[in-house]
């Protein structure tokens, strides 16, 4: 099926009543570290039947490479979207922002196939955006938050082009998980995104993950030092992408292993939970304050919001890596202090030192920020719905860990190959979860009561 979008004609492929258009440019090829440029047109009909390039990035480190699919495809046109549609007109639209700690991930992961959403009457759009240093390094001769600028460019593309796919630009829901959820929380809080969407879902994210630009500049400087160049857009542009990614990876690994506030900056360590070396910054131009503060002040009061977590989020980071098993009682207090937490919190939990650390970090990095987000939205006069996902992975010790809800949301259990889900994940649970996301996109209600300080309604899946 052919249609016309910004740039020219495209042709997709139809299977079982759903047409997929893959790898469509929503912006031009990134030039250096500039803001995203307009799409460059093409002649004739462009085949949109294969997945496009992905943003430059390293592979996941072991053992996470065996748990998360992360296809990496080289190519200049990585600022692209995938669109799945059943055809028609006036359909609700959902725009997906992937996770991956702002340094990994893409719209090409098989679990993000949007066919089930299209089957159920929603036009699904999956977005790529710049990652790592290229997307988020703070540089004196480049705009900050380039990855968020890319996301805004994609949303403007949706506004201007989605009607051609049968979508209603006046009924757009943005959603994302992990770094994608943090992106969504950021987008709902900034003036530049106003009017580009109407509903939002934050999965295992936070509205509190922002750094001061001066702090994140220290990380940029450390990467530049490893490369022997100035910490500028010109300096980074003089280096081959492979070298840049390698230096970024080495700094990220060292930062996670030894998150020294004196060296790496306090707000980055606290905001990222020690997991992420780069993420959005308060630059005074695009982002003026922490997203949670803006939401408290009413920035998202006109946006219907859903937010939630998995019950055992931090297990994903501490169990497969062996971190939890290696924590002793003596190590626990300094580990908590290094995360900016009171070591006395450990007395409120039972279990091994590793289990206690993981439970506290789940609460600190995921659960409490999610509740604070819902409370801020409600207090500002907006609507918020809260969920908790509790189905447990069959892998020992992981429980209901970070990222485990994803194939349930997308209804892609039939093609999920990660050992996270075992051989018989419950399709009936996917039916329930997926329907809630679809219902929210269509009606603004996922099927349970909004969060209120008195009732504190939380839907448990």
Summarised one tens digit per residue, pLDDT across range 153-206 is: 999 999 999 999 999 999 999 999 999 999 999 999 999 999 999 999 999 999
> What does the pLDDT read at residue 261?
61
Of 226, 252, 272, which residue is a domain's last?
A: 272
Choosing from 208, 313, 375, 405, which is the catalytic residue? Answer: 313
Choosing from 98, 364, 402, 434, which is the catalytic residue? Answer: 402
∠ CA 459-64-176, nearest 5°, is 40
> What does the pLDDT read at residue 270?
46
Q: Is residue 77 part of a domain?
A: yes
| Same-domain status, 245 and 322 | no
**Which structural domain range is residue 300 located in?**
55-209+280-460
| Same-domain status, 247 and 385 | no
Report, as an integer, the average pLDDT of 343-362: 95
> What does the pLDDT read at residue 32?
83
| Same-domain status, 152 and 203 | yes
Residue 214's pLDDT band (cuts 50, 70, 90):
confident
Question: For residues 96 and 127, is the Cβ–Cβ distance under 8 A?
Answer: yes
- Mean pLDDT over the full length of the chain: 94
User: What is the Cα 93 distance to its own chain's centre?
Assistant: 18
| Same-domain status, 376 and 391 | yes
Buried b (16+ CB within 10 A) or exposed e, 82-105: bbbbbeeeebbbbbbbbbbbbbbb
> What does the pLDDT read at residue 399?
98
Please tell me whether the peptide bond between 63 and the residue prior to it is cis, using omega within 30 degrees of 0.
Answer: yes
Pairing status of strand 45-47 against strand 80-85 = unpaired
Report, as an integer, the average pLDDT of 207-225: 90
pTM beyond 0.85: the answer is: yes
Choosing from 106, 115, 144, 178, which is the catalytic residue? Answer: 178
Q: How many domains does one find in the chain? A: 2
Confidence check: pLDDT of 144 > 70: yes
Q: CA 330 to CA 335: how far, in whole Å?
A: 9
199: which DSSP letter?
Answer: E
Give the CATH number of the domain where residue 109 resides.
3.40.50.1820
> What does the pLDDT read at residue 275?
60
> What does the pLDDT read at residue 31?
84
| Same-domain status, 128 and 267 | no
> What does the pLDDT read at residue 268?
47
> What does the pLDDT read at residue 272?
52
> What does the pLDDT read at residue 215?
85
| Same-domain status, 111 and 183 | yes
Is 178 assigned a catalytic role? Answer: yes
Over the stretch 403-458, which tens digit does the pLDDT of each residue have?
999 999 999 999 988 999 999 999 999 999 999 999 999 999 999 999 998 999 99
Over the stretch 102-124, which tens digit does the pLDDT of each residue have?
999 999 999 999 999 999 999 99
- Token pair belonging to 120: 């159920």
Is 313 assigned a catalytic role? Answer: yes
> What does the pLDDT read at residue 262?
62
Q: Is residue 44 part of a domain?
A: no
Q: Is residue 10 part of a domain?
A: no
Residue 264's pLDDT band (cuts 50, 70, 90):
low
| Same-domain status, 265 and 363 | no
> What does the pLDDT read at residue 263?
64
| Same-domain status, 183 and 235 | no
Buried b (16+ CB within 10 A) or exposed e, 133-156: bbbbbbbeebbbbbbbbbbbbbbb
> What does the pLDDT read at residue 266?
47
């Amino acid at each position: 099926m052919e249609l016309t979008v910004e740039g020219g004609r495209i042709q997709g492929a139809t299977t079982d009543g759903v047409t997929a258009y893959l790898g469509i440019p929503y912006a031009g090829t990134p030039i250096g570290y500039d803001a995203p440029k307009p799409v460059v047109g093409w002649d004739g009909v462009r085949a949109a039947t294969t997945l496009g390039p992905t943003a430059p990035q390293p592979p996941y480190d072991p053992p996470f490479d065996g748990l998360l699919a992360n296809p990496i495809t080289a190519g200049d046109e990585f600022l692209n979207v995938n669109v799945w549609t059943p055809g028609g007109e006036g359909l609700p639209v959902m725009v997906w922002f992937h996770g991956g700690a702002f340094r990994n991930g893409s719209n090409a992961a098989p679990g993000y196939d949007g066919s089930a959403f299209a089957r159920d009457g929603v036009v699904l759009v999956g977005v790529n955006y710049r990652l790592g240093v290229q997307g988020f390094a703070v540089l004196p001769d480049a705009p900050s938050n380039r990855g968020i600028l890319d996301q805004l460019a994609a949303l403007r593309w949706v506004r201007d082009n989605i009607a051609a796919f049968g979508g209603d630009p006046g009924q757009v829901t943005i959603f994302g998980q992990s770094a994608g959820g943090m992106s969504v929380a950021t987008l709902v809080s900034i003036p530049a995104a106003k009017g580009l969407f109407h509903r939002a879902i934050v999965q295992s994210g936070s509205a509190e993950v922002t750094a001061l630009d001066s702090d994140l500049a220290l990380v940029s400087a450390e990467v530049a030092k490893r490369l022997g160049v100035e910490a500028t857009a010109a300096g980074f542009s003089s280096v081959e992408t492979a070298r840049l990614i390698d230096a970024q990876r080495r700094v990220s690994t060292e930062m996670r292993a030894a998150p020294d506030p004196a060296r790496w900056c306090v707000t980055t360590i606290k905001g990222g939970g020690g997991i992420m070396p780069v993420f959005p910054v308060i630059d005074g131009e695009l982002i003026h304050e922490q997203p949670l503060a803006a939401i408290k002040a009413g920035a998202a009061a006109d946006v219907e919001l859903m937010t939630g977590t998995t019950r055992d989020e931090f297990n994903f980071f501490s169990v497969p890596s062996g971190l939890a098993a290696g924590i002793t009682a003596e190590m626990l207090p300094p580990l908590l202090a290094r995360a900016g937490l009171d070591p006395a919190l450990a007395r409120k939990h039972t279990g091994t030192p590793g289990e206690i650390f993981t439970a506290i970090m789940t609460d600190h990095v995921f659960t409490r920020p999610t509740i604070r987000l819902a409370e801020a939205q409600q207090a500002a006069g907006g609507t918020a719905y809260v969920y908790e996902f509790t189905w447990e992975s069959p892998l020992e010790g992981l429980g209901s860990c970070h990222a485990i809800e994803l194939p349930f949301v997308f209804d892609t259990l039939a093609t999920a190959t990660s050992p996270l889900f075992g051989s018989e994940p419950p399709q009936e649970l996917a039916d329930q979860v997926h329907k809630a996301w679809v219902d929210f996109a269509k009606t603004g209600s996922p099927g349970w009561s909004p969060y209120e300080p008195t009732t504190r309604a939380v839907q448990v899946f």
